[in-house]
Structure 1
Amino acid sequence: MADGTYDYDLFVIGAGSGGVRASRVAAGYGAKVAVAEEYRVGGTCVIRGCVPKKMLVYGAHFAEDLEDARNFGWTIDSPKFDWSVLRDNVLKDVDRLNGAYTSTLENYDVEIILERATLTGPHEITLGGGRTVTAKIILIATGARPHVPTFPGSDLGITSNEAFHLDALPPRILIAGGGYIANEFAGIFNQFGSKVTIVNRSDQLLRGYDSALRDRLLQISITKGIDFRFNAQFRSIEQTEDGCLKVSMTNHEDLVVDCVLFATGRVPNTEGLGLEHAGVAVGDHGEIVVDEYSKTNVGHIYAVGDVTNRVQLTPVAIREGQAFADTVFGDNPRTVDHGCIPSAVFSHPPLAAVGMTESEARNTYGPVKVYESDFRPMKNVLAGRNERSLYKMVCAETTGKILGIHMIGPESAEIMQAAAVAVKAGLTKEQFDQTVAIHPTMAEELVLLR
């Protein structure tokens, strides 16, 4: 397929989830492909995001599991946690995944260029070492980075990128933000023994999730010992003589902590890419503007993943990369349906959702029927833990079509993956009712809702 007019049929900037999938599939169709990555192959999810974070979540769960084990007959004397062991093992697995992603590309004869790449013309890319190459098609898959608010002393904080490399656990940590990253790291550090305070500029957590789940997570988190400060804007951070951080904010007293972690959203990585040299349009938040086929306003330049700011989720980036390659190199035009995407927050306990919240459904459909199950999981009963789970199903009143499912409790994300298929398929409450339960499980609550 190689076009002698250009050095490459496809040049991909960014070797994250979307870029790797697009590169591999395009090469499989016979295209001559190169991908440039200035850091490591695998992107945010694999290197400094959802994968290593989930490993920390697993590690954090042992804190309560070891405590609960007593009522199940286990005697565990003086359990101790060593952060450095978990940290190093997680980073070791990140190295393994980086190698696996690299091998995948190499097996498809994709040329990997470990340099920064910028656009210097419509079809021209200049590499960090100074070499210039050309490509018939260019795909930008540079992802996003943590946003850090600007105020005096904000440079004294860290982001989720650095959280995986801490030399030691901070005895006291302030986490700024109310989204999934903030709540996930709050649960992790709390279980590891840090005193955690979440500071949020608004009065609610996890905007976009159903209010019942958000309220339940807040209630459980407070019970677990996590503090919250709402409606707080940062004034400053100052380093004290003993190396601590004094944080000043609106509507609350000053707080002295050992670490400040910013989890205040993510910004598309478009600065310094040279988009202006190719005439690529960007939106109000720096995102690359694309159509349903991930094409920019420049006909031969495309973008997928977080850099487009459509839906910042790894599985979405992978599907966008696949659809791009199928469309452009596989003669199989495809788009990605960004509706009804399931999601999860790996908090303690985790929550998961698919489809519309109750308020969204009422605004769209008018009258709806809501079914709930508020229960204490069997394991928690025997363990003596009062923590309760909540499952919620939102249905159209007239047809019974399921518009959304929302749950908080152990293994919610695992259960939701299967439930999301049913919602995406447009199944009804009656069809759930006709399904025989698997007993005893937590998931059976979904087919027993009344």
Structure 2
Amino acid sequence: MADYDYDLFVIGAGSGGTRASRVAAAHGARVAVAEEYRVGGTCVIRGCVPKKLLVYGAHFAEDLADAKRFGWQVPDQCEFSWPTLRDNVMEEVDRINAAYTTTLESHGVEIIHSRVTITGPNQVTLADGTVKTAERILIAVGAHPAVPDCPGAEHGITSNEAFHLEAIPKRVLIAGAGYIANEFAGIFHQLGAHVIIMNRTQDILRGYDLSIRDRLLQISLMKGLEFRFDAAFQGIEKNNDGCLTVSMANHEPVTVDMVIFATGRVPNTGSLGLDAAGVELDAKGAVVVDEDNRSTCPSIYAIGDVTNRVQLTPIAIREGQAFADTIYGNKPTRVDYTNIPSAVFSHPPLAGVGLTESEAKQTLGSIRVYSSDFRPMKNVLANRNERALYKMICDGETGRIVGLHMIGPDVPEILQAAAIAVKAGLTKDQFDETVALHPTMAEELVLMR
């Protein structure tokens, strides 16, 4: 066997790269991981973790308003400090970044803070020209926000910059209608901004059940969010007063204080030098891999968002674990991509697992759909008309639950346990045989008709 500097060289210390590095090292491999920015990757540094903390912070706007109905003497105008929330969130990001770094170092993983280019099947070159060799290379560099190609696009920002704003703008236009767009829409709306969601199609949250996303649209409109559908960018012009005028197809121009692009994410393969090793990319620039995460170059593997299979942090982590266990742990493992639970931390949040109603009809033909459309107890006493909706899709012949979809308070927390039942292939009868835990919102799962 050739004499390499390392058994494994990982490019990218995000969720997937960190897991693969740590587990491979625990199995006895000599591992180095290169990270040009900060250990933790998108999720920890500029993604799901800080965004969820902003969701928590924004939620206090309605909680404080509701508190009066529960006897709390809350002032009509509560003062909010964006810098306090922003800085505390960044402090937590720093803490997690340090924890990730410590974990890698404690497992003997060498962390190299440098940009890396692949210069051969078993070779990488650091930014300073240093060459390193490894028996295997793992690409775990993730993805970055897409920016539309339109005049004036340089005046907009992406989710990366949204965490570091000096102040909350009064008027925000968010381009896109996926989970990032809807989550930031809820955050900025609750923090006092007027929010316009602009989308080039008529759909929000494609891939989620139609009834659930329709309910989110209804609630969002009721809260005062504005939607502009079939609206493609024509241009963004910066005015003398610093405001931005956005021109779009099929709608009148609108003037706002900030434009956020949330129009998808693009794999970070642009300047990795993958051609030098014969690594094939798909039409979207993602690394093509097989079921064992191996690319078209036998010594190079890839996991996470850079493969554009399922862009979710827990999937990247599972792929990293599977790679390390298979290659270094003598434990062949493949990720099962069926029945993956997912959530949108919108306002209110939604969550789902398994087939949507339309997917089930196309796949199974005969289905049974059960639902519960109710007003949570807290909303009743708070005089809020906002309703929750739970939906269960079952195989019409066997009663096996093939999909669960929910919108309402805390549904991501509820769905995690319910997703186990869907994964296990349980039936509607087995749910019905379970005694309800009363009074909870989760009890609706065993009471649906």
Please list the CA deviations of residues 198-218 of structure 1 after superposition, one character each: whole Å capped at 9, or x if unmatched: 000000100010000011000
Q: 2:245 maps to what in 1?
A: 246
* 1:74 to 2:106 alignment: no
Please list the CA deviations of residues 300-347 of structure 1 after superposition, one character each: whole Å capped at 9, or x if unmatched: 110000000000000000000000000000111110001110000000
Q: CA deviation at 1:42?
A: 0.1
Q: 2:202 maps to what in 1?
A: 203
* 1:391 to 2:390 alignment: yes
Whole-angstrom distance in 2 between the partners of 1:378 and 1:15: 43
Residue identity in the other structure for 1:363: Q
Q: CA deviation at 1:297?
A: 1.0
Whole-angstrom distance in 2 between the partners of 1:193 and 1:367: 46
- Secondary structure of the residue aligned to 1:142 is coil
Number of paired residues?
A: 448
Q: 2:164 maps to what in 1?
A: 165
Whole-angstrom distance in 2 between the partners of 1:92 and 1:244: 31
Whole-angstrom distance in 1 between the partners of 2:208 and 2:120: 42
Please list the CA deviations of residues 188-234 of structure 1 after superposition, one character each: whole Å capped at 9, or x if unmatched: 00000001000000001000100000110000000111000000000
Whole-angstrom distance in 1 between the partners of 2:118 and 2:297: 13
Q: CA deviation at 1:64?
A: 0.2
User: Which among 53, 56, 59 is matched to residue 55 of structure 1?
Assistant: 53
Q: How does 1:97-246 map to 2 (within 5 A)?
A: 97-246=96-245
Residue identity in the other structure for 1:251: N
Q: 2:19 maps to what in 1?
A: 21
Q: CA deviation at 1:298?
A: 1.1
Whole-angstrom distance in 2 between the partners of 1:422 and 1:155: 47
Q: 2:369 maps to what in 1?
A: 370
* 1:11 to 2:33 alignment: no
Whole-angstrom distance in 2 between the partners of 1:122 and 1:215: 49
Q: CA deviation at 1:79?
A: 1.4
Please list the CA deviations of residues 59-82 of structure 1 after superposition, one character each: whole Å capped at 9, or x if unmatched: 010000000000000001241111
Q: 2:40 maps to what in 1?
A: 42
* 1:446 to 2:448 alignment: no
Residue identity in the other structure for 1:128: A
Q: 1:330 maps to what in 2?
A: 329
Whole-angstrom distance in 1 between the partners of 2:203 and 2:130: 49
Residue identity in the other structure for 2:130: R
Whole-angstrom distance in 2 between the partners of 1:108 and 1:181: 34
Whole-angstrom distance in 1 between the partners of 2:406 and 2:117: 43
Whole-angstrom distance in 1 between the partners of 2:128 and 2:94: 25
Q: CA deviation at 1:122?
A: 1.2
Among the aligned pairs, what percent are the same residue? 68
* 1:90 to 2:89 alignment: yes
* 1:315 to 2:308 alignment: no
Q: Which runs of 5+ in 2 are unaligned?
A: none
Whole-angstrom distance in 2 between the partners of 1:292 and 1:431: 34
User: Which among 27, 31, 34 is matched to residue 33 of structure 1?
Assistant: 31
Whole-angstrom distance in 1 between the partners of 2:199 and 2:81: 30
Residue identity in the other structure for 2:263: T
Whole-angstrom distance in 2 between the partners of 1:252 and 1:149: 18
- Secondary structure of the residue aligned to 2:121 is coil
- Secondary structure of the residue aligned to 1:150 is coil
- Secondary structure of the residue aligned to 1:80 is coil
Root-mean-square deviation over aligned CA pairs: 0.7
Q: CA deviation at 1:172?
A: 0.3
* 1:257 to 2:256 alignment: yes
Q: If the length of structure 1 is used for normalisation, what is the TM-score?
A: 0.99
Q: CA deviation at 1:8?
A: 0.3
Q: CA deviation at 1:4?
A: 6.6
Residue identity in the other structure for 1:448: L
Residue identity in the other structure for 2:23: V
- Secondary structure of the residue aligned to 1:23 is helix
Please list the CA deviations of residues 103-159 of structure 1 after superposition, one character each: whole Å capped at 9, or x if unmatched: 000000100000001101111100011100100010000000000011100110000
Moved over 4 A (4+): none
Residue identity in the other structure for 1:305: G
Whole-angstrom distance in 1 between the partners of 2:249 and 2:283: 28
Whole-angstrom distance in 2 between the partners of 1:415 and 1:447: 12
Whole-angstrom distance in 2 between the partners of 1:345 and 1:404: 16
* 1:340 to 2:335 alignment: no
Whole-angstrom distance in 1 between the partners of 2:107 and 2:135: 19
Residue identity in the other structure for 1:396: D
Q: 2:62 maps to what in 1?
A: 64
Whole-angstrom distance in 2 between the partners of 1:364 and 1:31: 44
